[in-house]
Structures are given as structure tokens and as C-alpha cells.
Structure 1
Amino acid sequence: MTQTLTDSYNRTIDYLRISVTDRCNLRCSYCVPPTPFAHMNHTDILSYEELIRLVRVGISLGIRKVRLTGGEPFARKGLIGFIRELSALEGLEDLAVTTNGTLIADEMKNLKEAGLTRINISLDSLRPERFAKITGKDLFAEVKRTIEGALKTGLNPVKINTVLLDGINGDELEDFARLTFDHPVHIRFIEYMPIGEGSGPAHSELLAPAITRRLEALGPLTPVHRSAHDGPAQRFKIKGAKGEIGLISPMTNHFCATCNRLRLTADGHLRPCLLSDAKVNLMDAVRGSADDATLATLFRHAAGIKGKRHDLTGHAVHDMMSSIGG
């Protein structure tokens, strides 16, 4: 019998984000530090078999949605096969992936057939030269092909995640928004979050109130009704648009009261909150003699230590975004 996983504040936890790797083929400035750092050893990350077991335990507790993240998830070999195994699990209703889109332009049909429900593509510039400067790689054309392929294949919705920063890409806000007039894409503008040692941009963040004012200049914003598997985005349509706009505002509009997720890092730690260093070690249990009931208890413990709200303005998160899984 399926149980319900709840935290101390009676929030139902039905969403698990899984980082399958901390490795990435890009070096986006707000995600990884400029100085050299060590990646996890392959033996120190959960195998696909271990991940399948943990997802099964999660499903028995009421997890219904899984999103795969990284690093760059497709930097790990065999991910499409893993997606196929996940999609076959009874009780899983929604399977999505967040990717930089640089490695999978020719894989859209295979991903759809493997059972992927939706795709989020991280993209912080529509200008090839600027894209190369932000990411360290001249791969904008590959990302564009991925977006076009996802739309053609029918992965729906296709979401584009954009972190806006004044002095970096803030002048492209309207360009991203106008994409929704020509294509049925969902643009998600995400407030910058200072995560990791030494984080903190040498520029000004663009926050939700300023973003909203600039969007309203393009046309009236009509709120979009939330669906069952929605994340924290406030959703809008601009009049006449085929697609929609979403605002994810962890800094100015905490959505902690409705947070329904846990995060599983590639090295087997269950994090109740992206914006907190609190975590529960599953790796030792899953590689030891722990049975599924013990693993379920650890899931419940992680939910139990989930805070009422984050305090990112007062406390830094020390782990890098690339190691947590955004």
C-alpha cells in the first residue's frame, strides 16, 4: 500500500530530483567556481541500479515525479537506458530532465520513446558569442537544434530556464520573452541564487519585480492555472503568445510553504532543501546491509528535517550547485 511522505509542516513530498553526475561539459560562471576543483570519483556516485532501488522506495512513500539533473545529466553514459528503466516503474507519473542541451540534439526521438515526459533546457543567452563567453564553449547551435528537435518530437512542454543578471545577459529578457510569441515554449526566468563557496556575482541580479515590469511592457500578463506536477514557477501568458512565461523567485518570493521536493545528490545524500547544507546519507545504507524499510526510514528522516523556509539571505550554502543538482 502506498504511503504519504510528509514533513514536519504537513507538506506532502511527492517530487524527487536526482543528480546523476556532478560533471558537466560547460563551465557556467554562476554554477562552478573559476578555480580548479575535484570531481567525484565514479565509484563514489550511485550506480543506476542503486538509483532505481531508491526511486522504488520513494514511490512506495508517495513520490510521483522525478527530475534528472547534474552537472549535465547526459555527460553520464547510459542515461537514456536509465530513463527507460525509470519510466517503466509503476507509480511514477512524471519523468523529466534538466539539461544544457549540448549533447542530445540527435536524441529527441530516442528520449521520447524511452519514456521521458518533459525536458528543461538551461540557456542564458540567445547570442552565440555571449553564450560561448558564459559557458566556455561555442555550442549555441547545438542547443538550438535540441530545442527545435524537442518541439518537433512532441516533448511537451519544452521549458527554457534562464538566469538573468544585469551586466551579463539582462538586456536579453525581452528577446527570450518574445520566443513565446512564435513557439509554444515555456520560458522560466530564475532569480540568481548565491550557492557555493565564493559565490556571488560581480553584477546585479535581476529580481522578479523588475522582470515583471519589463514583461508587462510587451503586453498584458494573464495568470496560467497550475497543473498537478507544477514546480514553484508563477506562470503567465502574454496576450497573443503561443507559449508562456514563468518566474521562479527564491530570493524575493519564497515558495517554501508549498515546497514538495527532496533532492538526491550523485554521491547518495538526500537533501531536504536546495538552499540548505542539511543532508541525510543514503550511500552508506544502500551499499551496506540496509533493507528497503531502513531506506524508507531515512527518506522520512530527510522529510522530517526539512525546514519551514530557507534563509539564504542569512546563511551561505557551501556545496556547489554542480554537486547538488539544481
Structure 2
Amino acid sequence: MLQDPQGRKFSYLRLSITDLCNYRCTYCLPDGYKCNSKPDYLSLDEIKMVVASFARHGINKVRITGGEPSLRRDLPEIITAIKNTPGIEKVALTTNAHQLDRKVQQWADCGLDAINISCDSLDGRMMKAIIGRDNLAEMMAGIDIALKSPIKQVKINTVLLKQHNYKQLDQLIDWVKDTPISLRFIELMQTIDNKEYFKANHVSAEEIGKHIESNGWAQILRGKNAGPAKEFCHPEYDGHIGFIAPYSNDFCASCNRLRISSVGKLHLCLFGESGYSLRDLIVKGRETELDQFIANVLQDKPDTHFLHQGFSGGTTDLAMLGG
């Protein structure tokens, strides 16, 4: 298994298949997606090779991210290919719910095990204010289909924003009383492009945690392949509540995930300076070199990010690596 100098072991790969996104979320791409040249995304064959390499290193969970991954027409083939890779036990997907009601059953049929759906409000007007459109009806229909499908885990990601949906916190929590989903509140993170927005809208995850615990929620132990969320359960609720707290002091200590960008760069941290290109090694006949390069590069993984100092590395927006 891959291990860094701090002794952290890695079993979880976040694989971006596009940086393209069709939404205009105020906290990520308020002015929409911009590209000065046609991107050269990893092909299906290259994705198969890079996932196989990480699987040989002990990675057993892959999350497909974007941008918005559903904008790639070959997403079903990508899900199938990753699912059929020896050593991969779990395939997950993060989506903004674009045409979720039309597509989620096909993804489930391809072997998708888990899905994370972005939903920042249960009010259509608030949704439009945050993401630039009201997609609440198709999202809710898609969530219902996902819950009835073979998909084992349905999680909802909500970015809490002081000037927008923070007042709806209790309404969102009430949603899981009779709905078997995991609702995770994500602490807004500062990037190169959102410093003023961050100052105006940041809500501390510590504050969210205190609110949850004061209302009878108890923390659940993390699984070995779990993401960074601290998750809570309540005896009177069908669903779970969680929060992702990148500004907590111990956030990086439990890091178990690596990231591949849509153009084949290995990123050791979401908020690192730059990635390491694997593109020249993702070719038949160079598998051993690829495996060795990945193991060597991991020795450069830093102890922690520097978000507390206002440094977000090379991350201009969260769409570029899928968070």
C-alpha cells in the first residue's frame, strides 16, 4: 500500500475526468467555466491504465469527479471500466445533479456503488441564487431513483454560506428525519479567486458540529476508506448528518486520498502548488515505470495544507480538481 513519510496510508483515489462544469455556483465558478484552449482529457484507455496502476498500489476506492463528470458522454463506460479493475472494491461519483433523474439508473446498472449529490438548499429560489439555476425538481426525482437503485450509498453535499443558506440549516437537518441519506455540510474553503466571498460567507465547521451535537447527534467511527467527513447519527432519524472541516487542526492527519486531474496530473493535496504529470507514463509497456513514479512522488506529500495562513496553493477554483 502507498505510504507517505508521515506514515499515512492511501486507499482512496479521486479521479477527475473533466474540469468542465455547466453551473455557476457562487462559491466555485460564479462567472462560469472558462477555457482558453481545448483540453486534452484522459481517454478511456488512459483512465483504465492509471486506475490499474493505483489498484496495484492498494487503492481500492475510486471517486469519479469533475468539474461535472456527467458531461462526459463516456461516463457509463468509465464507471464500468473502473468497476472491473482488479482490486477496486468501490466506485463512487460526485455530481451537481445535472439530468440526475435521467442518468442515475444507467450509472447504477454500470456498477456505481455510491453517489454524492450537490444540493445547497431545499428552496428553489435559494438554489438559483447559489448555483445559477433551480434544478430542485430533477434533483429530488434523481435522489428518489438512486435510493431505489442498487447504489448502496447516497450522500448529499451542502456548502453552508453565511449570506445564503445558513439560515436553512435546521430545515436541511429535518430532511434526513425520514430520508435514508447522509447529509454532509462542507465548510467553505478559500481559493485564489474567492477571497472576498470567503470572508463574507465562511461558516466555521466547529460551529456546525456544536449545533449538531447539542441536538442529540452522536459521532460514528470512520471506516478505513471513508472520506474526510465526521459523521453523526440520531436514534430518531433515518439519515445521517456529517460535516467536512478542512480548517480543523486534525484534518490532514487522517488523509487517505490522492487526486488525479482530468489531464493526468497526480496531486498530493487539493491545495498543493502543482501536480506531477503522469501522461508520458500512461502508455502500454511503461506500467512498471508508472508504478514506481507514483510511489516515489508520494514521498513529497506535505504534512498539511496551509489554508489557515490563507494559502490555497495552485487551486484557482474547486472545479479544477473536483474538491
2:225 counterpart letter in structure 1: H
2:7 is aligned, of 1, 10, 15, to 10
1:68 is the counterpart of 2:97: no
Tell me if structure 2 keeps the 8 A contact 1:186–1:245: yes
Match of 1:293 in 2: 288
Match of 2:252 in 1: 256
Distance in structure 1 (CA, Å) of the matches to 2:35 and 2:251 = 33
1:194 is the counterpart of 2:161: no
Tell me if structure 2 keeps the 8 A contact 1:196–1:321: no
Tell me if structure 2 keeps the 8 A contact 1:20–1:73: yes
Is there any run of 5+ residues in structure 2 with no aligned partner, and where?
A: none
> Comparing 243-252 with 277-286, which one deviates more in the overlay?
277-286
> How many correspondences in the alignment?
320
Distance in structure 2 (CA, Å) of the matches to 1:228 and 1:167 = 36
2:170 is aligned, of 150, 159, 174, to 174
Match of 2:201 in 1: 204
User: What do the CA deviations read for 1:141-168 (whole angstroms, capped 9, x no partner)?
Assistant: 1111111111121422210011101111
Match of 2:318 in 1: 321
Match of 1:23 in 2: 20
Match of 2:73 in 1: 77
2:235 is aligned, of 206, 214, 239, to 239
Distance in structure 1 (CA, Å) of the matches to 2:62 and 2:33 = 31
Distance in structure 2 (CA, Å) of the matches to 1:199 and 1:80 = 37
1:34 is aligned, of 18, 25, 31, to 31
Match of 2:84 in 1: 88
Match of 1:111 in 2: 107
> Comparing 10-19 with 273-282, which one deviates more in the overlay?
273-282
2:90 counterpart letter in structure 1: D
Tell me if structure 1 keeps the 8 A contact 2:24–2:32: no
Tell me if structure 2 keeps the 8 A contact 1:15–1:260: yes
What is the aligned-residue RMSD (CA, Å)? 1.8
How far 1:62 moved relative to its partner? 0.8
Is there any run of 5+ residues in structure 1 with no aligned partner, and where?
A: none
User: What do the CA deviations read for 1:196-232 (whole angstroms, capped 9, x no partner)?
Assistant: 3344415231112211233345x31112232232111
Distance in structure 1 (CA, Å) of the matches to 2:262 and 2:159 = 23
How far 1:297 moved relative to its partner? 2.1
Tell me if structure 2 keeps the 8 A contact 1:70–1:323: yes
- SS of the equivalent of 1:316 reads coil
Distance 1:39 1:65, change over 3 A: farther
What does residue range 158-173 of structure 1 map to in structure 2 within 5 Å? 158-173=154-169
Identity %: 34
1:302 is the counterpart of 2:279: no
2:302 counterpart letter in structure 1: G
Distance 1:40 1:223, change over 3 A: farther
1:179 counterpart letter in structure 2: W
Distance in structure 1 (CA, Å) of the matches to 2:89 and 2:36 = 32
2:127 is aligned, of 114, 125, 131, to 131
1:322 counterpart letter in structure 2: A
Relative to the length of structure 1, the TM-score reads 0.92
User: What do the CA deviations read for 1:206-263 (whole angstroms, capped 9, x no partner)?
Assistant: 112211233345x311122322321111111133011111111011343211101110
Distance in structure 1 (CA, Å) of the matches to 2:20 and 2:46 = 19
Distance in structure 1 (CA, Å) of the matches to 2:92 and 2:33 = 31
1:309 counterpart letter in structure 2: T
Tell me if structure 2 keeps the 8 A contact 1:263–1:272: yes
How far 1:290 moved relative to its partner? 6.7
Tell me if structure 2 keeps the 8 A contact 1:194–1:200: no
2:188 counterpart letter in structure 1: Y
